[in-house]
Amino acid sequence: MGLLPLALLLGPAAAAAVKPTPRSRCRGLVKKFKQGMVDTEKKNFGGGNTAWEEKSLSKYEFSEIRLVEILEGLCESSDFECNRMVEEQEEHLEAWWLRLKKQSPDLFEWFCVETLKVCCSPGTFGPDCLACPGGTQRPCSGNGLCSGDGSRQGDGSCQCHMGYRGALCMDCVDGYFSALRNDTHSVCT
Ligand SMILES: *[C@@H]1O[C@H](CO)[C@@H](O)[C@H](O)[C@H]1NC(C)=O
């Protein structure tokens, strides 16, 4: 059973819970696009490595034809929202494919973070994608979750894992003892 019938069975609250956000839609689209790039790689070629094949392959690699093939595979035909999003964003995706891919090879960053502004890079949060406390590499010192991490929402505050507390989740709660602590790492046991 797919997600939608289940949601219908469980009522409106569950339906709201599984409805994709713009953010998850964008992530999903990028994932499908990357899969499309893999699927169309070397398509239509026998792998004979003739000079002719090499030349046609490099032509196809960045071609509009390949883009169209990738776009066609992005949505199930019944997925209305997905098809609408692709239709709306076709020009963006085409611009990236034909011109911008070289300087901005990360489609997620270019499309979801910079162009549509529905996501933030990992380790950043909020409308302006500010760095999470403790830095983007190890938000909340690796001991908690940064509110809004990867989204345009949240306030960046740390929800610490069990045993930790403090703005950066560096301190130990009562009953836990500090096994290790330096400027960036803290282990409470
Ligand atoms: C802090 O401790 C961690 C874990 O042992 C270690 O990897 C890191 O290099 C240490 N950092 C500093 C600044 O000493």
Kindly report, residue by residue over 19-54, the tens digit of the pLDDT: 788 899 999 999 999 999 999 986 655 555 667 667
d(CA 180, CA 123): 23
Q: Are residues 163 and 131 in the same domain?
A: yes
Residue 124: pLDDT band (50, 70, 90) is: very high
Q: Are residues 150 and 88 in the same domain?
A: no
Domain that holds residue 164: 124-188
182 lines ligand 1 (CB under 6 A): yes
Q: Considering 60, 81, 115, which residue would you say is the last residue of a domain?
A: 115
Q: Are residues 105 and 43 in the same domain?
A: yes
φ/ψ of residue 59, rounded to 5: -70, -45
Query: What is the torsion angle, in degrees rounded to the nearest 10, for the CA atoms of residue 29, residue 37, residue 71 and residue 116?
Result: 40
Q: Considering 57, 80, 115, which residue would you say is the last residue of a domain?
A: 115
Q: Are residues 128 and 95 in the same domain?
A: no
103 lines ligand 1 (CB under 6 A): no
Does this model's pTM top 0.85? My answer is no
Q: Are residues 17 and 87 in the same domain?
A: yes
Q: Are residues 106 and 138 in the same domain?
A: no
d(CA 51, CA 121): 41
Flag whether pLDDT at 120 surpasses 80: yes
Residue 137: pLDDT band (50, 70, 90) is: very high
Question: Cβ(51)–Cβ(45) under 8 Å?
Answer: no
Q: How many structural domains are present in the chain?
A: 2
Q: Are residues 106 and 132 in the same domain?
A: no
CA of 143 to the centre of ligand 1 (A): 14
Q: What is the pLDDT of residues 101-115, one digit of tens each?
A: 999 999 999 999 999
Q: Are residues 109 and 166 in the same domain?
A: no
Residue 17: pLDDT band (50, 70, 90) is: low
Residue 159 is which amino acid? Q
Q: Considering 84, 115, 146, which residue would you say is the last residue of a domain?
A: 115
Q: Are residues 37 and 78 in the same domain?
A: yes
Q: Are residues 100 and 7 in the same domain?
A: yes
Instruction: Ligand 1 pocket test: pick from 141, 180, 182, 188 the residue with the most ligand atoms within 8 Å of its Cβ.
Output: 182
185 lines ligand 1 (CB under 6 A): yes
pLDDT of residue 19: 77
35 lines ligand 1 (CB under 6 A): no
91 lines ligand 1 (CB under 6 A): no
43 lines ligand 1 (CB under 6 A): no
d(CA 150, CA 44): 38
Strands of the chain, DSSP E: 124-125, 130-131, 144-146, 158-160, 164-165, 171-172, 178-181, 186-188
178 lines ligand 1 (CB under 6 A): no
Instruction: Ligand 1 pocket test: pick from 143, 185, 189 the residue with the most ligand atoms within 8 Å of its Cβ.
Output: 185
CA of 124 to the centre of ligand 1 (A): 23
Q: Are residues 72 and 48 in the same domain?
A: yes
SS3 (DSSP) at 33: helix
Q: Are residues 73 and 154 in the same domain?
A: no
